[in-house]
Structure 1
Amino acid sequence: MFDLRPIPVPDLSGRRVFVTGAGRGIGAALVRVLVDRGARVVAGVHDQVETLPAGAEVVPLDVTDNGSVQAAVARLRETLGGLDVLVNNAGLISTIGPLTELSADELRPAFEVNAIGLHRVTMACLPLLEESRGLILNAGTGAATKAMEGWTAYCTSKAAARMLTLMQDLELSPRGVHARFVGIPPTDTAMQAEIREAGLNPISKIPQTDLVRTEVPASVLAWLAAAENRTREEVLLDVRDELFKGMMQAA
């Protein structure tokens, strides 16, 4: 279904990057690519499932907890001395189910991670990003603009994250900080396992063998983290954009 391959990532020597949701899936794949290309990386993990490279500084991180975020950013400042790129990758799809069976409280976890947590981490990192005239990369999804059966919590919270990105770029770019929302197609992660188990919409019917490998969105995020790509004009991007497809075909 998705004929996508990793794109070439330029040398990232000296780039200081903070990745949230780095314990598994796309986040872990991104940390591996960044370290391989020479970046200095702090990996914020809530539940570490995958092994991360020795070159990454791993810190515990719960984006829903202000104390946890502040402690992680303090470690980041101590370890890296500054920050060039923040990748808000932490995400949550729960609770999956029909809208009519979803309580107000069941909406809360997705918003706490996907929107409020994103804002919390960004604001904690903002002084460092202003110092470096840095970049915010927010992991996105087509579900931010397309309603999907059973995904009320996910679609609405990711739509909020999309608008947060637009607001970030609008209000922070005059201060030298740019923001990007990067749409990611269905990728072979633990989240997709939850989706298949629920079986509520067409995405749940995609065979695992047809899902995108985590290395593909990881390579796009890593490419965007390069200094020369910091000031691209597009705020809303997608891994399937012609720009990236051209790189995949040329690789």
Structure 2
Amino acid sequence: MGFTSWHPLWRIFLITFAIVLYLSNHLTGLNGLIKLVGFFFALPHISWQISKVIRNWCQLTFVSPINKAVLITGCDSGFGQMAAKALDTYGFHVFAGCLQPKGLGAQKLYKTTSNRLRILSLDITREDDIDAAIKEIEESDLTLWAVINNAGIVDYGAIEWDNNANRIRKVMDVNLFGAIRVISACLPLIRRSKGRIVNVSSVFGRFTLKGLTPYCMSKHALKSYTDGLRRELTDFGVKVVCIEPLCYKTDMTKEERMEEDLNACWKTTSDEVKSFYSEQYKTELQESLASHFKLARSELKEVSEAIEEAVTASSPLEFYRCTGPVDGLIVWLCEQFNDQCLDLIMRASNLKMLVKAVNFFSPKQKVI
């Protein structure tokens, strides 16, 4: 792709950048101004990152788990199951919500934890399941200290494929409204204990990846909802925390599952829409998503540890971002870019190059 085929704004930007760079090397005043502006932009961020490291070293104190309960959704596998195990080990009475309470995941969790942990049948799209869970917690005479909204689903495919309104509604019903239902039911108990609300969102609550739009929409909305809750409840002693993983090796990020869901979505798309997008576009979208999943980290413990700290630390952070060192830096850089820059980065070919760069510079991960 030649320079003349680039977007006009990008051509103007590159020419302007080259001119400013040239002038900064020849005009002392301009060079000093650029350094000063860069310093004041970078200094607060660097200071904030250093302060978080110092805090982790010497400031953390923790709450007692005695007679305290935590409710976790989505404990069949992944982050929810690991968090349930960690908080059970810490000493909490864990109410582990599972979509399939008699399934292999729930049974494995039950067998590998203490008798304090209870498996609940919990479909967060069903009000009666949520009411039953709250009733069981109230009847236990324990103090509900924290609710952890971890349950979520994903949807693969272009926005226009299949029945897009129903696809979006289904994802929002679990990832957003499911969390809202659970929190609304738990809030009277959480307010009483001055406890915690922990919502597992995603880095994609800040960026939108094509082919994942319904999922990203739900996480953007959950992030906004979490921010609003935190600002409204902080004066009443309730701490609200957002967990933001990037991409980890869970059931939702298995490449074969993505391909299966994407093909199913394509299969039920109308012939008119298929002819517009073409098989080539579908293949390229599938390859783009697959390249993203190559960044998936195997260290799920990073996320469960963030959840554990959010529940147990006396002064938890407002949000915990879970990434590797290299991809974490790239996410931070992307946050500094405008939408035009992000659109360029998110193009399939550029995303593949970015993935290769991250894989090259990242330390080798342990296989679990």
Which residue identity does 2:118 align to in structure 1?
Answer: E
| TM-score, scaled relative to structure 2 | 0.58
Residue 196 of structure 1 deviates from its aligned partner by 6.0
Choose the corresponding residue for 1:23, options 70, 76, 83.
76
Q: Tell me by how many angstroms 1:161 deviates.
A: 0.5
Give 1:40-55 correspondences, 5 Å limit.
40-47=93-100, 48-50=103-105, 51-52=108-109, 53-55=113-115
Cα distance, 1:79 vs. partner?
A: 2.6
Change (3 A) 1:12 1:147: same
Deviations, residues 153-207 of structure 1 (Å, cap 9, x unaligned): 1000111100110111122222221211110121111101133654636453256
Aligned counterparts, 1:186-205, within 5 A: 186-193=247-254, 194-195=257-258, 198=262, 200=286, 202-205=288-291
Q: Which amino acid aligns with 2:158?
A: P
Larger Rg: 2
Q: Distance in 2 between matches of 1:11 and 1:122?
A: 21
More helix by share: 2
Please state if 1:106 is matched with 2:189.
Answer: no
In structure 2, C-alpha distance between the alignment counterparts of 1:236 and 1:126, rounded to whole Å: 20
Which of these residues, 59, 83, 90, is aligned with residue 144 of structure 2?
83
Identity percentage of aligned residues: 24
- After superposition, the C-alpha distances for 1:81-100 in whole angstroms (9 at most, x for unaligned) are 22111100011113x10112
Give the secondary structure class of the aligned counterpart of 2:176.
Answer: helix
Q: 1:211 aligns with which of 292, 297, 304?
A: 297
Judge conservation of contact 1:44–1:61 (CA < 8 Å) in 2.
yes
Counterpart-to-counterpart distance in 2, 1:147 and 1:196: 19
**Whole-angstrom distance in 2 between the partners of 1:39 and 1:202:** 42
- 2:90: which partner in 1? 37
Q: Which deviates more, 203-212 or 75-84? A: 203-212
In structure 2, distance between residues paired with 1:180 and 1:221: 9
Q: Partner letter of residue 26 of structure 1?
A: F
Say whether the 8 Å CA contact 1:30–1:222 is kept in structure 2: yes
Amino acid corresponding to residue 100 of structure 1 in structure 2: E
| Residue range with higher mean Cα deviation, 37-46 or 116-125 | 37-46
Any stretches of 5+ residues in structure 1 without a counterpart? 1-6, 246-251
AA aligned to 1:99 is I
SS in 1 for 2:74: coil
**Distance in 2 separating the partners of 1:241 and 1:77:** 40
| TM-score normalized with structure 1 length | 0.83
Q: 1:120 aligns with which of 158, 181, 184?
A: 181
Indicate if the aligned counterparts of 2:243 and 2:321 stay in contact, CA closer than 8 A.
Answer: yes
Q: What is the count of residue pairs matched by the alignment? A: 233
**Mean CA deviation greater in 155-164 or 215-224:** 215-224
- The one-letter code sitting in structure 2 at the alignment partner of 1:13 is P
C-alpha distance in structure 2 between counterparts of 1:64 and 1:42, whole Å: 18
